[in-house]
Amino acid sequence: MSDLYKKTLSEVAVKLQSGELKAVEAVRNCLDRIEATESRVKALITVTGDEALALAEAMDSQGPDANKPLWGVPIVLKDLLATKGVRTTCASKILDNFVPFYDATAVSKLREAGAIIIGKANMDEFAMGSSTENSAFFQTGNPWDTDRVPGGSSGGSGATVAAGQCYAALGTDTGGSIRLPASFCGIVGLKPTYGRVSRFGMIAYGSSLDQIGPMTRSVADAARMLQVLAGHDPKDSTSVDVDVPDYLAALGRENLDGVTIGLPEEYWGEGLDAEVEEACKAAVAKMEALGAKTVQVKLSLTDYAIATYYIIAMAEASSNLSRFDGVRFGHRNKDASELIDMYTSSRTEGFGDEVQRRIIMGTYVLSSGYYDAYYNKAAKVRRLLREDFDKAFEQCDLIAGPVCPTTAFKAGEKADPLQMYLMDIFTISANLAGLPGMSLPVGLGKDSGMPVGLQFMGPAFCEADMLSVTECLERNLDPMPMAEL
């Protein structure tokens, strides 16, 4: 089964449930793939191989469980999800040796569904970045070209799936951090509606923006993962108590008759690379051939989204990261003679440049005299952005456009922070509005040879419809190859 790593999660799950494949075989195959590729990709901060094998052996001794849809499937987690007894670093020196005593709710749900956790993925420190170059430990390479970035901040999660090291990974998306690496790495990435998946046990960056979601090699795999993850959690005050539909039952539609796709003119204009535009427009034409109707819609406040997002996100980061003070957990400077020196030196040594930059900016916009000038205005624009989407969805079922203006860029190419922030221009609005978003691979750029993702956004809690449409399109596009490592 040397090509087992090329299978999708759904294919492997069927083999495991039938007994054709043992859990130990699935885990060993992934660990072998990690050993063969990790020196080039560098996707994982922690590999829990021994623990995963021991669990797989115990599961095999009992046999498959039809009530556990992910029974025996090896999965990787972004390293900001709390894992009981396993180091959780946020790719930061300040949490280098932090070992939680509990699992995040999303992790507990995966375990209850039979998944086997085999590692924790690299990321931009505290999820702050778009390239995974901000990790305190090492840079992750894109499996399609390891000189290029995998996107961020869930770059390790995207790269580990694209490299065949696991069958799915969890990422988090604050402003595009699932969708961007999914696009750059040629996989499926789904950001659910805010509140659809519990955030309990996720180390927060922007509490009103963060959402956990799956990163997989097919839409069906994303549906299978979301079926496990979705649902109300009383431990999370932002979790919404609404019914969870059968996402897998929504798949398999024959065509897109009756579906209207909105194309925002702001996403298809100046600044979009020709190869990205060509691949995305070809996918839109395929949807039309399948019966979908396309209409032009306006998201007139898109130009203000970057400024709005970074004011709100950095303000929330400033507040959330104040807990890392060297007192209760994390890195502490033991040479400090006074309390204020300990605070200052511990945080200076523990946080990287980008995290410090965002904390300072966030503290500034929340400070006396500037709150109304910046944060309060950003909150008002955020409400108007949501109204923009509401008006657009009066004309269409889903909105489609590029995930990013470019394909994956070379590491070190965007040293200017503002250039990096602009990578999120098409993705951040969904987070500000709390709406679901998804990246579907639709081909390779003709010039770069790198993957291109088409983004879908929809009304709140429309994930079933989104999965239905994208799975139909996926079946009718040329199959996305795997990266050759």
How far apart CA 174 and CA 313 sit, in angstroms, is 8
- Residue in 7, 42, 68, 78 annotated catalytic: 78
Strand partners, 76: 119, 169
What are the DSSP E strand ranges found in 198-329?
212-216, 260-264, 293-297
Q: Which two tokens stand for residue 147?
A: 């000189």
Radius of gyration of the chain (CA): 21
Q: Nearest 5 degrees, angle CA 145-CA 192-CA 143?
A: 10
In the three-class reduction of DSSP (H, G, I as helix; E, B as strand; rest coil), residue 121 is classed as strand
Structural contact between residues 179 and 427, judged by C-beta atoms closer than 8 angstroms: yes
Instruction: Please name the helix (run of DSSP H) or strand (run of DSSP E) that holds residue 464, with its range, or none.
Output: helix 463-476
Tell me, yes or no, if 153 is annotated catalytic.
yes
- Residue in 153, 154, 183, 218 annotated catalytic: 153
Strand partners, 270: none
Residues 6+ apart with CB under 8 A from 349: 93, 94, 331, 333
Q: Nearest 5 degrees, angle CA 158-CA 159-CA 165?
A: 110
- Residue in 177, 183, 239, 439 annotated catalytic: 177
How far apart CA 313 and CA 365 sit, in angstroms, is 11
Largest CA distance in the chain: 71
Structural contact between residues 117 and 73, judged by C-beta atoms closer than 8 angstroms: no
How far apart CA 266 and CA 75 sit, in angstroms, is 37
Long-range contacts of 378-382 (CB under 8 A, 24+ apart): 378/307, 378/308, 378/311, 378/312, 379/312, 381/301, 381/304, 381/308, 382/308, 382/312, 382/432, 382/433
Q: Which of 235, 155, 164 is nearest to 189 (CA)?
A: 155
CA atoms within 13 A on the CB side of 62: 11
Active-site residue set: 78, 153, 177
